[in-house]
Amino acid sequence: MASINILKFGVSSPSDTSPLNQLKAAGFSPHDILAVIGKSEGNGCVNDFSRTLSSRVWEPQIPRSAVTVFSGGTEGVLSPHVTFVVSDRSTTGLRAAVGRTRIIEPHEIGTSVQAFEVASSIQSILKESGVAIDQVRLILIKCPLLTSEKVEIIKSSGMPPVTTDTYESMAKSRYSSALGIAIALGELEEDGLHEAMWSQPCWSTKASCSSGAELEDCHILIIASDSSPGGLRAISGYMSDAIDARAITRLLEQVDRESGHVLQVFAKAEADPTGKIRGNRHTMNTDSDIHSTRHARAAVGGLLAGLVGETRLYVSGGAEDQGPPGGGPLCVVYRVAP
């Protein structure tokens, strides 16, 4: 598992790969890229072609072993950008490892099969790279969804799809991936999976899962801290609800105490499924014009951008099993003076 650095740059459109020049100017080569994590400016839902476009233009530019994770939706103040995770020859204090599951068949999407594939892929990656579970700060996953065509493929094979609603399949897929992370990190027992899927939700604060039509397998990125010296740090936490400013300031205060500088924040956001936040009604789940994931990104993005003072943040929508219901995981990567 390589020592890594993290750099982020704005993009002028989903097809803009000019950040490669900025990466080179910063002394890195495209060969160093382990992952490109992007916020692209589509709707972040089923028909978000900004994600597909970004994957298409970026994948020929990066090593075959590298992964892309494009999360759609830059609602509100959020700014489209890419974050590079690159190998660094020097010891930085942070490490990363990437991998992929096998292709998830249409009828497996959003099921325990996907959860197990994710879990076992993460376990392999961790083993190969020699990272201990307690060093893991964040596991980012990009996973497939059900299109109308995939629903028909499932039906024509006589199986019941987990859902026929393509938007809802995004949530099912995120949830399966997150359970896979929970199993891999020992937060959930394998034989508790069935219950977790149906009746006893559990959650992980290291999981950040995003689904899309642009891929068939799951892309996995693990960011871990290293006991070795170096200027990079990552700390994790979670928002208890979508207005939990305290969860954010607590992490930012730790960065301040170490005189650090925030490089990136990774957050997930969702509309509270109860329809209320601290006792007051929200309307994200009854708005038939804008899906709740778009609302949630806009609101949590506004809060995070205000507190961090910058809008190129990774805020992704739909936090099923990723942090407590209505809340979501947070991971702050920062640099301290050497």
Catalytic residue numbers, as ranges:
142, 210
- Asked if residue 10 binds a copy of itself (CB under 8 A), the reply is yes
The answer to whether the annotation marks 100 as part of a ligand binding site is no
Is residue 140 within 8 A of residue 97, CB to CB? The reply is no
- Asked if residue 254 binds a copy of itself (CB under 8 A), the reply is no
Distance from C-alpha of 144 to C-alpha of 1, rounded to nearest angstrom? 26
Member of 30, 192, 201, 275 binding a copy of itself (CB under 8 A): 275
Member of 13, 29, 61, 65 binding a copy of itself (CB under 8 A): 13
Cβ-based nearer residue to a copy of itself, 202 or 307:
307
Q: Where in 20-59 is the site for a copy of itself (CB under 8 A)?
A: 41-43, 45-50, 52-53, 56-57
- Asked if residue 286 binds a copy of itself (CB under 8 A), the reply is yes
Other CB atoms within 10 A of residue 293 CB? 28
The CA–CA distances, whole Å, from 112 to 117, 172, 180 equal 9, 10, 8
Q: Site map for a copy of itself, 84-123, x if CB under 8 A? A: ----------------------------------------
Q: Site map for a copy of itself, 139-158, x if CB under 8 A? A: --------xxx-xx------
Distance from C-alpha of 288 to C-alpha of 320, rounded to nearest angstrom? 20
Quick check: helix, strand or coil at residue 150? Answer: helix
Cβ-based nearer residue to a copy of itself, 93 or 237:
237
- Asked if residue 288 binds a copy of itself (CB under 8 A), the reply is yes
CA 186 to chain centre: 19
Is residue 300 within 8 A of residue 207, CB to CB? The reply is no
The answer to whether the annotation marks 257 as part of a ligand binding site is no
* DSSP letters spanning 292-324: HHHHHHHHHHHHHHHHHT-S--EEEE--TTBSS
Which amino acid is it at 22? Q
Member of 23, 97, 118, 296 binding a copy of itself (CB under 8 A): 296
Helix (H) or strand (E) holding 100: strand 94-100
Q: Where in 181-220 is the site for a copy of itself (CB under 8 A)?
A: 213
Is residue 3 within 8 A of residue 130, CB to CB? The reply is no
Give the closest residue to 51 by CA, choosing from 316, 329, 330, 320: 316
- Asked if residue 302 binds a copy of itself (CB under 8 A), the reply is yes
The answer to whether the annotation marks 302 as part of a ligand binding site is no
Question: Cβ 140 to a copy of itself, closest distance in Å?
Answer: 22
The residue assigned the tokens 């020929």 is: 60
Other CB atoms within 10 A of residue 189 CB? 12
Question: Cβ 101 to a copy of itself, closest distance in Å?
Answer: 22
**Which residues line the annotated binding site?**
51, 71-72, 174, 210-211, 270, 297, 316-317, 319, 322-324, 327
**Which residues line the annotated binding site for Mg(2+)?**
270, 319, 322-324, 327
